[in-house]
Amino acid sequence: AQSVTQLGSHVSVSEGALVLLRCNYSSSVPPYLFWYVQYPNQGLQLLLKYTTGATLVKGINGFEAEFKKSETSFHLTKPSAHMSDAAEYFCAVSGAYGGSQGNLIFGKGTKLSVKP
């Protein structure tokens, strides 16, 4: 079984500051890991994903995340926040072996606010 914990339901940063959104997962099989972003009144959009290979994954809009197996973490970072980054961010995990374990399990989300 898989589960996801996102630390902090709300994070506020100043424009230009580092963005760090935390995600820890639990999985009984090798995981696939994802970050999605949701802007107000819209569906979810994939930011980046880790399946296999390089553990540092780069995504859209300058975001990146690092898979750390020893820490069971997949934290999302961006060096310099923009006002347009204000949104809700969801971390998700699925099992690499497919079947019902291939379904996505989502964290509860972190709402990012960016102050001018």
Question: By C-beta, is 14 or 103 nearer to other proteins?
Answer: 103
Beta strands in the chain (DSSP E): 2-7, 10-14, 19-27, 31-38, 44-50, 56-58, 64-68, 73-78, 87-95, 105-106, 110-115
In whole angstroms, what is the distance from residue 65 CA to residue 55 CA?
8
Least Å distance, CB 87 to other proteins, is: 14
Asked if 27 and 101 touch (Cβ cutoff 8 Å), the reply is no
Which residue's CB is nearer to other proteins, number 25 or number 107? 107
Measured between alpha carbons, how far is 48 from 91 in angstroms, rounded to an integer?
10
Closer to other proteins by CB, 9 or 84: give it. Answer: 9
Of 2 and 73, the one with the shorter C-beta distance to other proteins is 2
User: Minimum distance from CB of 45 to other proteins (Å)?
Assistant: 7
Provide, rounded to whole angstroms, the least separation between the CB of residue 10 and other proteins.
12
Binding site for other proteins (CB under 8 A): 9, 32, 34, 36, 41-46, 49, 51, 90, 94, 98, 100, 102-104, 106-109
